[in-house]
């Protein structure tokens, strides 16, 4: 009989990275001979009525992706109390990856993401979970103490960022190990995209734009003679190639087929590395820089992180002109992949 793993993550988010990491985690569990099931607890995403209207087609395409590529899910849960009253049956409760331990995102559902439900006999594992930042944003000492008690119920915890490993040790009294985001534990997304053919464009996937950033893009477009393709925005940016809404597969392909990628997204960086693209990583939210920086430091790519405002086009172009030694990166990545997969394999083998 297969080990049944109930996964709690941001599986319903209208975010390309969240969907890709959910898909990758479930694919890994299948490859390890498990039966993954998604715990259907959803984080409310605060979109305005206009954003929801503009995003209808994207919502439809994400829903179609989930139907085609996600495993079965539990009944819909709306509160932690509902989960406690009727927890899913499983051999393992698994939480991660993504920012599942960021209380600024999980808010009133935080206890659920620390697996405060189900029988004590069910094994609890954190896999590549992320706090999203290197400091703990909760001032309520009683709440933190409660989460520490919940953390001690885990059989094992792995964290995506170095700072998160430190938080686990210093704040919650658990010895966590560092593992890769699951999107970097699969070879490729060919099952979704088919073979990738180079399109020789510049891909921009940036949550936080600015006039100086778009002026930089225009200069790069002129300097390299390659069109810039804007990804992920609800509305076009005048003067640039714009494809919206991309399906999940199209988003991956747009990055994988690019000659250059500019992004402030963790998963934008991860997909760039997976497909060995030249890229520049930007700081989006200063509080969450640790997510990208930690990965880049591990892979010897910390120089690819651009820090500074306003955007200095000459500095960016110098980065773009500096090739990435993907042979060296590949050796580091392979070691990290082996360790990450070994962690997950140990957890499911001992269920």
Q: What is the CA radius of gyration of the chain?
A: 20
pTM of the model: 0.96
Q: What's the chain's average pLDDT?
A: 95
**Beta strands per DSSP E along the chain:** 4-8, 35-41, 73-77, 92-95, 123-129, 156-159, 177-178, 202-205, 228-230, 241-242, 260-263, 278-282, 305-306
CA distances from 311 to 109, 131, 185, 239, 322 (A): 37, 28, 32, 19, 18
- 9 pLDDT band, cuts 50/70/90, is very high
Tell me, rounded to whole angstroms, the distance of Cα 154 from its chain centroid.
22
Lowest mean per-residue pLDDT among 147-151, 182-186, 347-351? 347-351
- For 191-208, how does the pLDDT look when each residue is reduced to its tens digit (9 = 90+)? 999 999 999 999 999 998
Percent of the chain with pLDDT over 70: 98
- 286 pLDDT band, cuts 50/70/90, is low
The full set of domains in the chain, from first to last, is 4-186+334-349 (3.40.50), 190-320 (3.40.50.2000)
Burial status of residue 77 (CB atoms within 10 A of its CB: 0-12, 13-18, 19 or more): buried
């Amino acid at each position: 009989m297969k080990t049944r793993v109930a996964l709690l993550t941001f599986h319903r988010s209208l975010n390309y990275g969240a969907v890709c990491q959910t898909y990758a985690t479930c694919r890994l569990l299948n490859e390890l001979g498990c039966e993954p099931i998604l715990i259907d607890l959803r984080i409310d995403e605060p979109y305005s009525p206009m954003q929801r209207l503009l995003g209808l087609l994207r919502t439809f395409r994400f829903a179609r992706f989930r139907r085609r590529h996600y495993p079965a899910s539990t009944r819909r849960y709306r509160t932690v109390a509902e989960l406690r009253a009727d927890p899913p049956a499983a051999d393992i409760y698994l939480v991660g990856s993504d920012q599942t331990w960021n209380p600024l995102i999980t808010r009133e559902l935080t206890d659920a993401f620390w697996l405060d439900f189900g029988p004590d006999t069910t094994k609890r594992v954190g896999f590549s979970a992320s706090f999203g930042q290197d400091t703990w944003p909760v001032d309520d000492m009683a709440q933190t103490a409660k989460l520490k008690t919940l953390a001690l119920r885990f059989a094992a915890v792995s964290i995506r960022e170095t700072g998160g490993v430190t938080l686990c040790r210093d704040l919650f009294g658990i010895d966590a190990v560092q593992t890769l985001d699951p999107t970097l534990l699969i070879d490729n997304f060919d099952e979704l995209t088919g073979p990738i053919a180079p399109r020789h464009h510049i891909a921009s996937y940036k949550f936080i734009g600015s006039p100086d950033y778009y002026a930089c893009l225009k200069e790069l477009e002129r300097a390299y003679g390659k069109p810039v393709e804007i990804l992920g925005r609800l509305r076009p940016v005048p003067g640039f190639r714009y494809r919206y809404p991309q399906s999940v597969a199209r988003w991956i392909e747009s990055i994988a087929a690019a000659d250059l990628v500019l992004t402030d997204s963790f998963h934008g960086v991860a997909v760039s590395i997976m497909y060995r693209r030249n890229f520049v990583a930007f700081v989006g939210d200063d509080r969450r820089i640790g997510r990208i920086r930690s990965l880049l430091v591990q892979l010897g790519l910390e120089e690819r992180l651009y820090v500074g405002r306003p955007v200095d086009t000459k500095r960016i172009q110098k980065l773009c002109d500096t090739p990435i030694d993907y042979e060296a990166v590949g050796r580091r990545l392979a070691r990290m992949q082996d360790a990450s997969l070994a962690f997950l394999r140990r957890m499911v083998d001992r269920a």
